[in-house]
Amino acid sequence: MAQILKLLQVASSALPRVVQCNFRTSACLSELQKLSTVQVVDNSILGRSAVKRGKKAKIIHVYNSAGIGKIGDKVLLAICGEKKHGYIVGCKQKQKPNTPRFDNNNVVLVEENGTPTGTRIRVPIPSCLRGKDGEFTKILSIATKFV
């Protein structure tokens, strides 16, 4: 067994090493649209099961006239074979001044009447959502951190 390991080490040192560069040639999208993947960041049962399975949710529809989602927009999601409503609370895109940029596209799941599905939000929420209308008061009340 030791001889085999020694032969493998000699053979691997004789082979040229291939340098692999992982970079993207296209810029990331400047907005969220249909079929964009998002991460559910609340502690709802459906969101936790999706994280456990390693699956992300996909946007099916954006509820505005342009069809392009930014922070604070309502979206329809496909997650674990179900349709759920949610609000975008974080984007990868370059934001306006004083609006944070996130590593992932984040959403919070809500019921059809606007109440959040989960009881806690696991990531910081942008404080620019405080200036929005009354639709975000319940989401802001379950958030623990603001940026």
Write out pLDDT tens, residues 15-28: 555 555 565 554 45
Check residue 26 and give its pLDDT.
46
Check residue 128 and give its pLDDT.
82
- Please indicate, yes or no, if residue 18 is contained in any of the structural domains: no
- Please indicate, yes or no, if residue 93 is contained in any of the structural domains: yes
For residue 56, with 0-12 CB atoms within 10 Å meaning exposed, 13-18 middle and 19 or more buried, which class applies?
middle
- Please indicate, yes or no, if residue 3 is contained in any of the structural domains: no
| Residue 117 domain boundaries | 29-142
- Please indicate, yes or no, if residue 24 is contained in any of the structural domains: no
- Please indicate, yes or no, if residue 147 is contained in any of the structural domains: no
- Please indicate, yes or no, if residue 33 is contained in any of the structural domains: yes
For residue 96, with 0-12 CB atoms within 10 Å meaning exposed, 13-18 middle and 19 or more buried, which class applies?
exposed
Q: 3-state class of 57 per DSSP?
A: strand
Residue 57 maps to which CATH number?
A: 2.40.150.20
Domain count within the chain: 1
What's the rounded Cα separation, in Å, for the pair 53 and 72?
27
Check residue 77 and give its pLDDT.
94
Q: For the chain, which ranges sit under pLDDT 70?
A: 5, 7-8, 10-30, 94-96, 98-101, 134
What's the rounded Cα separation, in Å, for the pair 11 and 143?
55
- Please indicate, yes or no, if residue 14 is contained in any of the structural domains: no
- Please indicate, yes or no, if residue 119 is contained in any of the structural domains: yes
